[in-house]
Amino acid sequence: MKFDAAILRDDTDRMAIEAVELANLRDEEVLVRVVACGICHSDIAIRDGKYPCERPLILGHEGSGIVERVGSAVTKVKAGDKVVLSFTFCGHCPSCDDNQPAYCHEFGPLNTSGRRADGSSALTLNGEPVGGHFFGQSSFSRYSVANVRNVVKVRADAPLEMLGPFGCGIQTGAGAVLNSLSAKPGDKIAIFGGGGVGLSAVMAAKLAGCSQILLSEPNAERRTLGLELGATDVIDPLSTPDLTAKLMEISNGGFDIIFDTSGIPAVVNDGFVALAPRGRLGIVAFKELDSAAIINLVSTISLGRSLHGICEGDAIPDEFIPFLVDRFMEGEFPADRLMKFYDFKDLNQALDDQDHGIVVKPVIRMS
């Protein structure tokens, strides 16, 4: 079986659509006809060579589609089912055994090597292996070879083309607020950065009943969108010389929760000291592999403040994605407001547009 996929080769940041061949589908794998795929920051970081990943490679890790066929050991889904593809995990390490797949001990190699655990790939390009398992899916492609663990069945009446981003960026932002940081009614929350993850966090904070939802974001259009999605206050950090003082003033004594999506160490530092007693700050982003923040020991101890590193919103995808899709279908979580659709042939443009902040969440439609 041959199909088109977007190939990233050495020494270029342009992807070319070429025909790949499905060499084999293992017993625990699922072949999915991709309907759409969102673009998430990790796609751009790998494209730009910020983290090593063997090429040629097919990126894309927010796929949604329809199951085409399944390996002999798969009973979870069947041909014709609508699915969202999420991150993958090993299923048998201490974190997986503890139902915390986002902290799978094999998360790095399984999701960012582009290969299966044993280093092989289901796909070949001109007879040579091509990385076809990025985040267990490589969905910038007409078909994706997923693993039974990272296919999430979704309700049949949901618009599939809008659901791919629920598999990573949306899950990360919403999960950080609802799962990792346990937002509850009446909490005051500040969210740093109004990209796809930050705005998903805004919608989740509204869903949780937070009484104050501040969005700090330099882009005026995104601040406006934040207000429409549930933010009660917005600030432009670039025109706020003393961020900590401003946060303390707006919250009248500190935030219960601060969620940083900027990855800027100075911003994390400023936020941490604007936490109320017992406040918690969640982080999901970094600019460099050696980025570091400063934590004052005295105030951390005496005020019981805490710092949470968060991967994939602490989500169990099989449970959390259907929950968010239900909220979306009921109009309580309007994630489509973040999206702009592109044709598959315009994939490079879509990545550039996200990289340059022109669009919050580009979604590639495969047909």
What residue ranges bind Zn ion (CB under 5 A)?
A: 40, 42, 89-90, 93, 96, 104, 168
CB 65, min distance to Zn ion, A: 17
Instruction: List, in sequence order, every residue forming a beta bridge with 190; answer none if it has no partner.
Output: 214, 258
CB 95, min distance to Zn ion, A: 5
Cis peptide before 362 (omega within 30 of 0): no
Nearer Cβ to Zn ion, position 90 or 347?
90
Nearer Cβ to Zn ion, position 60 or 230?
60
Nearer Cβ to Zn ion, position 46 or 130?
46
Is 153 within 8 Å of 171 (Cβ atoms)? no
Nearer Cβ to Zn ion, position 53 or 90?
90
CB 19, min distance to Zn ion, A: 26
Nearer Cβ to Zn ion, position 42 or 138?
42
Nearer Cβ to Zn ion, position 180 or 212?
180
CB 117, min distance to Zn ion, A: 10
CB 226, min distance to Zn ion, A: 20
Rounded to 5°, the CA angle 141-52-58 comes to: 5
CB 105, min distance to Zn ion, A: 5
